[in-house]
Structure 1
Amino acid sequence: MQATAYTYDPETRSGQVLLDDGTPVPFDAPAFDKGGLRLLRPGQRVRIEGEAGSEGGKDDRRITLVTLQTF
């Protein structure tokens, strides 16, 4: 799935992406580290992988990978 980087904190290696419908979804350091990135700037197009949380709801999503979108 594709998204746009929205926020990123280099100290915690966590932040948020915006889905194409404008929904912000947070990611944590393990998801960032798994993607092999060193830095992320707001506005960059990214590819994300995730899973639904235990409740399975739209607001219970968890990102498991963040990496740059390449063509």
Structure 2
Amino acid sequence: MQATAFTYDSETRSGSVLLDDGTPLAFDAAAFDAGGLRLLRPGQRVRIEVEGEGAGRRIALVTLQTL
């Protein structure tokens, strides 16, 4: 699934993305580390993998979207 980076805190390695429908979804350090990234800037297009449904939905992986 694709999204746009919205926030990122380099100290905690966590942040949030906006899904293409505008829904915000937070990610934690584990999801950031799983993608092998070192830095993320708001506005960058990312690919995410999501686990769970409804209120239990969470991002498991964040990586840069490449063409």
Please indicate, yes or no, whether the TM-score normalized by the shorter chain is above 0.5. yes
Q: Which ranges in structure 1 are unaligned for 5 or more consecutive residues?
A: none
- Corresponding position of 2:51: 51
Q: CA deviation at 1:61?
A: 1.4
Q: How many residues align?
A: 67
Q: CA deviation at 1:60?
A: 3.1
1:65 aligns with 2:61: yes
Larger radius of gyration: 1
Alpha-carbon distance in 1 for matches of 2:44, 2:23: 16
* Runs of 4+ more than 4 Å apart: none
How big is the alpha-carbon RMSD for the aligned residues of Structure 1 and Structure 2? 0.8
Q: Which ranges in structure 2 are unaligned for 5 or more consecutive residues?
A: none
Alpha-carbon distance in 1 for matches of 2:56, 2:42: 23
